């Protein structure tokens, strides 16, 4: 058999307010979004019993645990965004890192996290 990897994708969302510091425009004012989040994990070994990479239920629950840290918050008052700009780029990195800590014991790694403020625009974070 060929060596390969599997990638699994789950989606979630959260609602939060933020203001972009040092931004010249309307987004410097506090405003809210229904943020959409897409998380992709990858691995090269399926479980022996069920032959799955990771149960989607675990992925969804774990991603929800991370987004709950941000849900219905003023992100500018929520660590680490009380000192870091709560941009989509920084949100994607934060979610990537928090998700990674929670799933590493399952033998998979986070491939990427995408955060969207609107359907037409998104920011994706991944580590090389």
Positions marked catalytic: 27, 72, 117
- Cα 46 to the chain's mean position, in Å? 23
3-state secondary structure of 99: helix
State the Cα–Cα distance between residues 121 and 81, nearest whole angstrom.
Answer: 21
Q: Give backbone dihedrals phi and psi of 31, rounded to 5 degrees, phi first.
A: -155, 165
The answer to whether 111 is annotated as binding is no
The token pair at 55 is: 């149960």
How many whole angstroms from its chain centre is CA 56? 15
Residue 33 marked ligand-binding = yes
Q: Which residues are annotated as a binding site?
A: 18, 31, 33
Binding residues for Zn(2+): 18, 31, 33
């Amino acid at each position: 058999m060929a060596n390969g990897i599997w990638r699994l994708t789950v989606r979630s969302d959260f609602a939060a307010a933020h203001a972009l510091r040092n931004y010249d425009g309307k987004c410097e004012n506090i405003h809210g979004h229904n943020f959409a989040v897409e998380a992709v994990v990858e691995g090269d070994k399926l479980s022996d019993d069920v032959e799955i990479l990771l149960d989607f239920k675990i992925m969804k629950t774990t991603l929800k645990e991370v987004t709950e840290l941000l849900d219905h918050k003023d992100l500018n008052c929520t660590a680490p965004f009380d000192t870091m700009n709560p941009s989509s780029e920084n949100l994607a990195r934060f979610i990537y890192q928090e998700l990674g800590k929670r799933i590493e014991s399952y033998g998979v790694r986070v491939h990427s996290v995408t955060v969207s403020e609107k359907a037409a625009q998104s920011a994706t974070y991944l580590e090389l």
